[in-house]
Amino acid sequence: MKTRYLFLLVVTFCFMSTQAQEAKIRWNKQGTATQLCIDGKPYLLLAGELGNSSASSINDIKRIFPKLHRLGLNTVLVPASWELVEPKEGEFDFTLITSIIEEARANRLKVVFLWFGAWKNSMSCYTPIWFKKEFNKYPRVQTEEGKPLEIASPFSEAVFQADSRAFEAFMQHLAEIDSQKQTVIMIQVENEIGMLESARDHSPTANSLFKSEVPLTLMKYLQKHEKELHPWLIEKWSKAGKKIHGSWETIFGKDPYTDEIFMAWHYASYVERMIKKGKAAYNLPMYVNAAMNSRNRKPGEYPSAGPLAHLIDIWHCAAPSLSLLAPDLYDNGFIGWTAQYKLHNNPLFIPEIKLEPNDGVRAFYVFGEHDGIGFSPFSIEDAPESPDYPLAKSYQVLQELMPVITQYQGKEAMKGLLFDQTEKKRILKWGHTTLICRHFFTLPWDKRATDGSLWPEGGGLVIRIAEDEYLVAGSGIVIEFKSEDERRLTTVNQTLGEDGFAAEGSSIRSTQNWEGGKRIGLSQVSEVHINADGSMTEVRRLNGDQTHQGRHVRIGVDDFSILHVKLYEYK
């Protein structure tokens, strides 16, 4: 009787703990945006990810975390290494995990743990040595020639049981020490899963499964969601005849991309089982990250079959418990990559991006353009500890803006801006008002604009808070507000000096006669501070030289600020 009573107490405690935890962290849908909410409020991850080996000792954690707080982060992404958690089979050591959580609390940081389990950047380098040595029990994948790779097989039940046992113990430890304070807010399951050298595993087990019929679950999903599928996948299926029964090559054709689809299904199925094991212990949001299929590389030349945009339907079908698929961005083409991952069925989170000064304005773009939930440069501990470092200045302003950004997410009232030396201009339009947005260096007043210097990226966000009222925030941008009547006029050589007078040798005369209509002027421009409740406090009123005598609003490339702009019409 006493044993039964104790059992009921344990079950009740676990149930109450899970209920309390779920009440603190949840997903919210607002218009077209998906928001991560903590303690009932939408939360933006102003984050950074530690280098792979920068969280492997308590001394490193104690040294680094105070710096992260001073840099303005509210969240840190930290590896949780299987080899350190289970150095001997069946014996778990969570000393480092506990220290990470304690140091995060001391420095007012939330934590996203990255489970470096069976795979990290495709390879199985973070598995314990006892796992690595027992390659007969824990088999590796093989190339077509039969060469074994240091990539654990996702087809092996023994691999899954070992990996998931450690992951489940890890999640249970988090539940025991953190379910009340909720320092840990999300979990990344594995890291940059994918095949290298070969597009798929060619072991006997994999070959047998590859020749078998595509699972009925996937075929039903493709048919049910046909109109919503990623364009790449529907095209590939259609070119193969859009069959609904058959082997992988029958359904998708014979090429390396079919190999990739096959592996994606089995990787995602493995991850789904991991998530279920983890959530049974502690129900936190879980996601996966992807290394990009960039630089014209083919499957196997990049981590094939990972959670890439063109494979999102395969991953969603096989791993429905995933909260999102997230891109790791280290290549050029930032705007294009982010657009691939902000989909109707996938909120945008950037868990890794190359640490560089341009990250400051890119963070604004992610939140403004794509209703992003977070931004996280990699190896954040290497960032200069200076209040003038662009990311630190950016995060300070974004922290202020959080209640306003989250208020307008998903409502078509917010846009992001990002400019460089090539893409210098963007036109936005709301109602009868057109916003001509440009890089700050399109104004020639700063010598760096014309002396051959490489332009730093300029960017920010614009929020329309009323018909004639806007918030503009960021760095290195200039915006003019025009009516439809004004937009129809063209001008030549309209180069003005800082004083607003015509520059030498230029003309400001219009090529067309004014035919009446209204113009838009700046009624009021103020630099503002955003309070915790979303209200504004004016810091200073801007006019004269700061608005080019009422012609535009601007924020210099060395500054990050928030402007409150009110417009009026005249004729």
Residues 419-448: pLDDT tens digits? 999 999 999 999 999 999 999 999 999 999
pLDDT range class, residue 10, cuts 50, 70, 90: very low
Mean pLDDT of the chain: 93
All domains of the chain, ordered by start, with CATH? 2-136+159-200+261-408 (3.20.20.80), 414-570 (2.60.220)
Q: What is the pLDDT of residue 18?
A: 47
Tens of pLDDT along 144-200? Answer: 999 999 999 999 999 999 999 999 999 999 999 999 999 999 999 999 999 999 999
**For residues 76 and 46, what is the distance between their CA atoms, to the nearest angstrom?**
8
Confidence of residue 500 (pLDDT cuts 50, 70, 90): low
The string of DSSP letters for 495-545 reads -B-TTSSBPTT----BSS------EEEEEEEEEEEE-TTS-EEEEEEE-GG
Per-residue model confidence as pLDDT tens digits over 286-332: 999 999 999 999 999 999 999 999 999 999 999 999 999 999 999 99
pLDDT reading at 92 higher than 50: yes
pLDDT of 140 above 60: yes
pLDDT at 17: 44
What's the rounded Cα separation, in Å, for the pair 261 and 256? 9
Q: What pLDDT does 484 receive?
A: 85
Range with the poorest average pLDDT among 417-421, 494-498, 518-522: 494-498
pLDDT at 451: 94
Backbone angles phi, psi at 82, to 5 degrees: -60, -40
> Is 487 a residue whose pLDDT tops 80?
no
Which residues neighbour 92 within 8 Å (Cβ) at sequence distance 6 or greater?
85, 86, 166, 169, 170, 173
Question: For residue 348, is pLDDT > 60?
Answer: yes
- The confidence score (pLDDT) of residue 517 equals 84
The pLDDT confidence band at residue 514, using thresholds 50, 70 and 90, is confident
Q: What is the CA radius of gyration of the chain?
A: 27
Q: Over 60: is that where the pLDDT of 16 sits?
A: no
Q: How confident is the model at residue 11 (pLDDT cuts 50, 70, 90)?
A: very low
CB-neighbour burial class of residue 124 (10 A; exposed 0-12, middle 13-18, buried 19+): buried
Residue 122: pLDDT over 50: yes
pLDDT at 486: 83
Question: What's the whole-model pTM score?
Answer: 0.93
Q: What is the pLDDT of residues 36-45, one digit of tens each?
A: 999 999 999 9
Closest CA to 371 of 400, 327, 414: 414
Mean pLDDT of 451-470: 97
In angstroms, the CA 44 to CA 74 distance is 9
Q: For residue range 267-283, what is the model confidence (pLDDT) as tens digits? A: 999 999 999 999 999 99
Check pLDDT > 70 for residue 488. Answer: no
Q: What percent of the chain has a predicted confidence (pLDDT) above 90?
A: 89
363 pLDDT more than 50: yes
Closest CA to 171 of 282, 270, 275, 72: 282
Q: Are strands 184-191 and 110-120 parallel, antiparallel or unpaired?
A: parallel
Whether 237 has a pLDDT exceeding 70, the answer reads yes
- Comparison of pLDDT for 155 and 506, the residue scoring more: 155
List beta partners, residue 25: 38
pLDDT of 2 > 80? The answer is no
Going by C-alpha positions, the residue among 43, 64, 67, 37 that lies closest to residue 53 is 64
* pLDDT number for residue 489: 62
